[in-house]
Amino acid sequence: MEMHFATVYECIADLDPGITALVDDVNRRSWGECDRRAACLANFFQQAGLKKDAKVALYTYNRNEYLEAQLAAFKMRAIPVNVNYRYLDDELVYLLNDTDAEVVIFEGCFAERLMHIKPQVDRLHTYVQVNDGHPRMPGAYDYEEIIAAHDPAPHIQRSEDDIYMLYTGGTTGMPKGVMYRMGVFFRNMLKGYDFCGLERPKTTEELIEKIAMRRREGHFPAGLPASPLMHGAGMWGAVFMPGNLGAKTVCVSRHSFDAEAIWQAVEREKVTDMTIVGDVFGKPMIDALKRAEAAGKPYDVSSVERILSSGVMWTADVKAEFLTYMDALLIDAMGSSEGSMARQLLRRGGNPTTAEFELNDKVVVLNENDQLVEPGSGDVGMLAVQEGIPFAYYKDPEKSAKTFRRVNGIDYCFPGDFATVETDGKITLLGRGSVCINTGGEKVFPEEVEEVIKAMPGIKDCLVVGLPDTKYGEQVTALVTCQEGLPTSEQGIIDQAHKNLSGYKIPKQVFMVERILRGPNGKADYKWAKQQAAALSEETA
């Protein structure tokens, strides 16, 4: 049988239909229920006129229906599309039109926005509303009524050439659809076996045998995406990878990050695998553990075996604090929607570091002449991935040609991340070229400066951008939020930075702000930061 999410999940459901597959704040679904409900929804999609490769937009918070609808699309060889629920009208119109979405599965809280933009969306013809207590949108179908009214679609043969697509906004530019072949992507998601110390299965039949054996031995994994399902980190690290080991998925159905609710779910559902987004999630989660401990009601987190972080910096101090509460494998992954590139694995007794990674076997660092960067040379190069990569961006041949290209007979993906290679072969991540600051001919990567500033006493968060400068082209500028009650000053930050950074990397201006705007996945919003810094600079000019 093909290695395809729909086919594999059907086999897992047949193996033990009564075992729990999905849990959120409202419902608990078994594997058998989940498979049947997704099949009913797939039947509805077909009756609504959807064909192979049709796009189904998923516009909800973390909840069971998101995963059921995704599976329904996989079943009929359609393509589920992740929708960023923070998008406003123009961004949402762009995404729905760019994806050619025909169906949208949405929570009622988004009905008003969908009604407002409906005349501007070209191909969207079917609206399916998930009940969250809001009134039904005129013309929309009710999610549960659809499932009750339709028979399950029969199992079908699928192809490993079917498309898996993830829409990513990145730090700049409009969202773009990263397209993988299903077989290639599915095998990427078998790395969960690596983290468990198991050999990856080579066939669907072998995968099912491994799950059955592990269940007989008492292994019942559970994955919890602390980050949104609409982003790759949460979906890949806490759903797909544990799911390929037969895990249930535990969703915390909140509209914003809630550290207490996450630990409550971990304790209740005996979660084994989690995804977080570096310090942005890690720090408040540690604070929640400390508060519970101080109150004499510590959370039971002994079930946690693995925590995977991707997207932003996960600093050494925060990693060390996690390991005081649980004996887990910490996986600091460096990757993007275009693929995984490097990682740092840490257990108790290890030496936690910040932003130092070991390259995956099939990843290299190439300089501007497409030559390998020599370890210890100090030269800056771009990461290039040569295995398990996407094949194109949806409807963007120009961007595809720049990102996916052949060098010396090898097909590479260049996601845009810059790095240096240390003498021992480890890499130090510098950041994305799209936000690199050019000051007097020198390149400054914002993340390097941000991490120095965030390590200073009293600093809560920081973003660094480049502003126009008549002498140097761009000047390094920092936006900073401070911890309440801890005194800091702009000049003090600049003085402290001189101890850890070269002169050209020192911020010329530092602005204190009430908050740093980040996406729900914790990633920096550099477009907002640049606009904010420019406005503050103009005010003080």
Check whether 408 has a pLDDT greater than 50.
yes
Instruction: Report which of residues 240 and 342 the model is more confident about.
Output: 240
pLDDT value of residue 123: 96
Predicted confidence band of residue 425 (pLDDT cuts 50, 70, 90): confident
| Residue among 502, 516, 532, 539 at smallest CA distance from 463 | 516
DSSP 359-427: EPTTEEEE-TTS-BPPTTS---EEEEE-SS---EETT-HHHHHHHEEEETTEEEE--SEEEEE-TTS-E
Q: Are strands 20-23 and 273-276 parallel, antiparallel or unpaired?
A: unpaired
* 456 backbone dihedrals φ, ψ, rounded to 5°: -75, 145
pLDDT for position 540:
84
Cβ atoms of 448 and 481 within 8 Å: the answer is: no
pLDDT digits (tens, 9 = 90+) for 454-510: 989 999 999 999 999 877 788 999 999 998 877 789 999 999 999 988 888 999 999
User: What's the pLDDT band for 153 if we cut at 50, 70, 90?
Assistant: very high
pLDDT at 172: 46
* All domains in the chain, ordered by first residue: 1-18+27-184 (3.40.50.980), 189-354 (3.40.50.980), 361-391+399-431 (2.30.38.10), 436-540 (3.30.300.30)
pLDDT value, residue 522: 74
For residues 382-387, give the mean pLDDT: 89
Write the burial class of residue 358 (CB in 10 Å: 0-12 exposed, 13-18 middle, 19+ buried): middle
Element holding 442 (H helix, E strand)? strand 442-444
pLDDT for position 171: 45
pLDDT, tens digit, 9 for 90 and up, residues 203-224: 999 999 999 999 999 999 999 9
- Residue 162: what pLDDT? 98
pLDDT at residue 396 is higher than 50 = yes
Amino acid at 465: V
pLDDT tens, residue by residue, 234-251:
999 999 999 999 999 999
- State the average pLDDT for the chain: 92
- Tell whether the model's pLDDT for residue 307 goes beyond 90: yes
Predicted pLDDT at 438? 81
pLDDT at position 169: 67
89-108 pLDDT tens trace: 988 999 999 999 999 999 99
Q: How many residues does the chain have?
A: 541
Closest CA to 107 of 247, 254, 206: 254
Q: Confirm if 392 and 350 have CB atoms less than 8 A apart.
A: no
Nearest to 147 by CA among 45, 236, 215: 45
- For residue 459, give every residue at least 6 positions away whose Cβ sits within 8 Å of its Cβ, in sequence order, or none: 453, 480, 481, 482, 483, 488, 493
Q: Is the pLDDT of residue 313 over 90?
A: no
Nearest-CA neighbor of 266 among 312, 221, 228? 221
Predicted confidence band of residue 417 (pLDDT cuts 50, 70, 90): confident
Query: Above pLDDT 90, what percent of the chain?
Result: 74
| Range 374-392 average pLDDT | 91
Question: Stretch 394-410: mean pLDDT, rounded?
Answer: 92
Separation CA 238–CA 248 (nearest Å): 10
pTM: 0.83
**DSSP designation for 119:** G
Number of neighbours of residue 90 by Cβ within 10 angstroms: 10
Residue 128 has pLDDT above 60, yes or no: yes
pLDDT band with cut points at 50, 70 and 90 for residue 45: very high
> In this prediction, what percent of the chain has a pLDDT beyond 70?
98
In one-letter notation, the amino acid at residue 89 is D
Question: Which range is least confidently modeled, 356-360, 382-386, 412-416?
Answer: 356-360
Are 297 and 262 a contacting pair, CB within 8 Å? no
Confidence of residue 139 (pLDDT cuts 50, 70, 90): very high
Q: What is the pLDDT of residue 335?
A: 74
Spacing of C-alpha 284 from chain mean position: 18
